[in-house]
């Protein structure tokens, strides 16, 4: 699968005249393939506040689906570790809210975030050390957020 992803990336970015530089691909515990590229064109690939990353990720997923006879391959597209740093920040914020929920036995609410980052939080909070915590997404559209409940509530 990694070879297929590399070939797809090379063809995709060569056609746009973008030098990929270094490409790292790893399969995560949740089954997603994490793809991180280092490029001289990283600012353009990332976009303003990371706005371009979801678009490139969507295009790459669709291309992989077509290449694999309709089978959806989950992959996370990152440039220069930008998205990974964002994930780490969201996880740190969730950990602080979990600590607050445990200390106060009160519901804690994270700020609105994209479906991708809500998923990151939910997957992280599935770990055994968070068995005393329930997390759910509430709200609609751009106001959708993760709510953290201690089990004692």
Same domain, 46 and 108: no
Final residue of a structural domain among 31, 59, 80: 80
> Which residue from 36, 34, 4, 41 is spatially nearest to 22, judged by alpha carbons?
36
Kindly report the CATH number assigned to the domain that includes residue 119.
3.30.1370.50
Are the beta carbons of 132 and 151 closer than 8 angstroms? yes
Is the pLDDT confidence value at 153 over 70? Answer: no
Kindly report the CATH number assigned to the domain that includes residue 21.
3.30.300.20
Final residue of a structural domain among 64, 80, 96: 80
The 10s digit of each residue's pLDDT in 56-111 is 999 999 998 988 888 888 899 999 999 999 999 999 999 999 999 999 999 999 99
Q: Give me the pLDDT at residue 52, please.
A: 93
The pTM is what? Answer: 0.83
| Across 138-153, average pLDDT | 88
Q: Give me the pLDDT at residue 115, please.
A: 92
Same domain, 14 and 66: yes
Is the pLDDT confidence value at 47 over 50? Answer: yes
Final residue of a structural domain among 46, 63, 80: 80
Residues in the chain: 153
User: Which has more confidence, 112 or 32?
Assistant: 112
- Which domain range does residue 53 map to? 2-80
Q: Three-state DSSP class for 97?
A: helix
Domain count across the chain:
2
- What residues does 77 pair with on adjacent strands? 35
Same domain, 31 and 50: yes
> Which residue from 142, 134, 5 is spatially nearest to 63, judged by alpha carbons?
5
Q: How far apart are CA 33 and CA 74, in angstroms?
A: 6
Q: pLDDT category, 112, cuts 50, 70, 90?
A: very high
């Amino acid at each position: 699968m990694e070879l297929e992803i590399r070939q797809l990336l090379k063809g995709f970015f060569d056609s746009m005249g973008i030098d990929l530089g270094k490409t790292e691909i790893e399969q995560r515990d949740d089954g997603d393939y994490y793809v991180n590229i280092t490029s001289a064109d990283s600012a353009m690939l990332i976009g303003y506040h990371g706005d371009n990353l979801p678009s490139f990720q969507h295009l790459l997923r669709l291309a992989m689906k077509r290449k694999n006879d309709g089978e959806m391959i989950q992959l996370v597209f990152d440039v220069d570790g930008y998205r990974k740093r964002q994930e780490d920040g969201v996880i740190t914020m969730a950990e602080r809210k979990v600590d607050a929920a445990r200390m106060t036995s009160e519901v804690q609410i994270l700020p609105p975030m994209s479906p991708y980052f809500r998923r990151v939080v939910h997957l992280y909070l599935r770990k055994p050390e968070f068995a005393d915590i329930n997390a759910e997404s509430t709200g609609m559209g751009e106001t959708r957020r993760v709510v953290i409940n201690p089990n004692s509530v």
